[in-house]
Amino acid sequence: MRLKPPYFLPMRLLSIIVSAILFWGCPSPIPTTNSGDPVEEIQFAYLQESNQLYFGVVVNPEFFDSVLDSIQIRWYGTDSTRNPDVITLNDQGEFGDILPGDDRYARKVTNSSGSLTNTITLTDTGKVFFKTDLLFRAGTDSRSRSEWLGNLRPVIINVTAPDTATRPASGIELVLITCQVHDANGLDDIRWVGFKSYHDSLQTYLNGGNYIYLYDDGSQQILYEPNITSGDSIAFDGIYSFQVPLSSTSTGGSYHWIFEAQDLAGSVSDTVVKQVIIQ
């Protein structure tokens, strides 16, 4: 009796062929990279004390698919349709960056026409606009951003006071001083305007070193009896006034009157100093 070939031999051969096709025909697994946002934080601040703009970008290099060449800010100021100023950040510990090589790119730029086209002015409020560009060798990652300017400090525009005042032989002489103040958040944001009086020769502050306050009340308030007011002309126009009383017993000499203003948020203006000689 003739034996038939085992039926499993063709099946085994077919299985080997199929396995080979599957092995050689399927692509190798594609290497994957970390997924996520390479930008951890974007920072902006208007540093009014030094009249500078600060920009900062914190990055995480683990999420880079390409080499980071640089980070630039396109600064539009208060109008997003303007041609932007281009500001290059750095991670070298200079120009506003603190620590080199910590993946925190930063820069401080002076808010003036010599450094920027799109400057912030005294009357600006609301939002400012800029774009952050991460420049990689394989392309650019661009992000639009807007920030509120927030509370803006009051600004003393002008101080008027005589250079010299003479004490009267008798009675009282009133010396009018005025201080014009601006606040971009509105004049109703101004808490107070005042000055301190420093005697140069005595090297001491008068009035216990306390502020002498000016008023924007249109002279409606009686400050000293019987009827002495601040001498202010128009109420709520941003011009604050005070009448300094001089008598024959007032201390003469050279004074520095040091003016400041504070808003409701507690921010204080830059100091303005006026020198006055009391004879």
Strands (E), the chain: 39-47, 52-59, 68-77, 85-88, 104-110, 127-136, 139-148, 155-160, 164-165, 173-182, 190-199, 204-205, 212-213, 239-246, 253-263, 272-278
Question: 113 versus 17: which is more confidently predicted?
Answer: 113
Segment 22-39, tens digit of pLDDT: 333 333 333 233 457 889
Can you give 29-54 as a three-state secondary structure string?
CCCCCCCCCCEEEEEEEEECCCCEEE
pLDDT of residue 35: 57
Structure tokens at 244: 């300094």
pTM of the predicted structure, to 2 decimals: 0.72
Cα torsion for 19, 21, 27, 28, to the nearest 10°? Answer: 40
Q: Which residues contact 180 (CB under 8 A, 6 or more apart)?
A: 156, 157, 158, 159, 238, 239, 240
- What is the distance between the alpha carbons of residues 76 and 210, in angstroms, rounded to a whole number? 43
Amino acid at 40: E
Q: Once rounded to an integer, what is the mean pLDDT over residues 116-136?
A: 94
Does pLDDT of 20 surpass 70? no
Segment 169-178, tens digit of pLDDT: 999 999 999 9
* Pairing state between β 239-246 and 212-213: unpaired
- What is the distance between the alpha carbons of residues 206 and 209, in angstroms, rounded to a whole number? 6
Element at 80 (helix H, strand E): none
Q: Domains of the chain, with CATH numbers?
A: 39-148 (2.60.40.10), 155-278 (2.60.40.10)
Give me the percent of the chain exceeding a pLDDT of 90: 76
Does pLDDT of 10 surpass 90? no
- What is the distance between the alpha carbons of residues 26 and 205, in angstroms, rounded to a whole number? 88
Does pLDDT of 19 surpass 70? no
In this predicted structure, which of 28-32, 124-128, 263-267 has the lowest mean pLDDT?
28-32
For residues 162 and 174, the answer to whether their CB atoms sit within 8 Å is: no
